[in-house]
Chains A and B, each alone.
Chain A
Amino acid sequence: MDDTLIISGHKIDNRFFLGTGKFASYKLMQEAIISSGARVVTVALRRVDTQSAHDNILKYIPKECIIMANTSGARNADEAIRIARIARAAGCGDWIKIEVIPDNKYLLPDNAQTIRATEVLAKEGFIIMPYINPDLADARRLSDAGAASIMPLGAPIGTNKGICTRELIKILIQEISLPIIVDAGIGRPSHAAEAMELGASAVLVNTAVATAEDPVLIARAFSLAVKAGRMAYHAGVVLPKDQAEASSPLTGFLR
């Protein structure tokens, strides 16, 4: 069965997306990308330190990867729009993860501003991946505005708490026809597998890989967990029951 993820006509043959922040070095980040086989990686746009030499992250990202700039640092729609345009001018292509975060404590996104930025940028031909609090009405608005996927958070960024928004993500998967990509909060491979078992189209992980003891090894573990979770989704995961049900026959032996 062909189970390739398709986003805006692009075939993506790995449902594990990797963020590039917090790695001890670009070399280590590169090894983690390669060991996981990730095909979509995110980067951020920042001011260059004009007083000292700076290394170019893009040269460490394998050629076959789609590079998706994020709009991190944006506190409202206008700033996100500005960052997206600069990222494209910098040669990053059309893929943009819109994140609008006015809150520094929980880093929770502002859905209304994200929708507004999506409306503007979709008309400019961007492939838009909006990072949102999982909300059905907002996901519908983003879909109508021309988003290419919806990226609901599992838990606040960098908390490693897993799919705390599980029931809401399930609703998005049921009701929204765009790919649902769980972003943020995924702390371990089993969380990634859980998202995929629910029917998510992909997951995006950063902190849990970059800050692990062995980022290269855990990147591969995440990628395998995503594949296992996807396979389980297709296989039809069984539901929990309150009463025991024997796996072995209970009758016709010794009695």
Chain B
Amino acid sequence: MKVRINGEDLDFSSLVSIAEFIIQRKIRPETVVVEHNGVILDRDKWESTMLKENDALEVLSFFGGG
């Protein structure tokens, strides 16, 4: 299953929820915001939302900027 995450195509061999993906990648959930197919996804929906073929996921956070 191919999913586009932060502009890069990643292959997943099994079904995975957004919450599981975040944990697998050792991302601290409280530090990021997730946009799923162009829609901002509330944190309480991460567990119930499964990644599907051709989904687009943006995992974003704050960095230094002027």
Q: Residues of A at under 8 Å CB distance from B?
A: 19-23, 26, 29, 42-48, 50-51, 53-54, 56-58, 67, 69-70, 72, 85-87, 89-92, 157, 184, 204, 206-207, 210
Contact = CB atoms under 8 A, between A and B. Distances in A.
Contact of A92 (B32, B42, B62): B62
A92 B28 CA distance: 17
Contact of B60 (A22, A29, A58, A90): A90
Interface in B32-50: 32-33, 35, 40, 42
B59 interface: yes
The 7 residue pairs across chains A and B that have the minimum distance between CB atoms: A44-B65, A19-B66, A206-B66, A90-B33, A20-B64, A47-B6, A21-B64
A46 B60 contact: yes
A54 B40 contact: no
Contacts of B32: 48, 90
Contact of B65 (A42, A47, A48, A51): A42
B62 A207 contact: no
Contacts, number: 94
Interface string B13-47: 00000000000011110011101000010100000
Contact of B40 (A23, A51, A85): A85
Nearest to B33: A90
Nearest to A73: B65
A48 B66 contact: no
Contacts of B35: 86
Nearest to B61: A48
A195 to B, nearest CB: 16
A47 B66 contact: no
B66 A207 contact: yes
B66 A204 contact: yes
A221 B25 CA distance: 42
B5 interface: yes
Nearest to B26: A53
B66 A20 contact: yes
A154 to B, nearest CB: 13
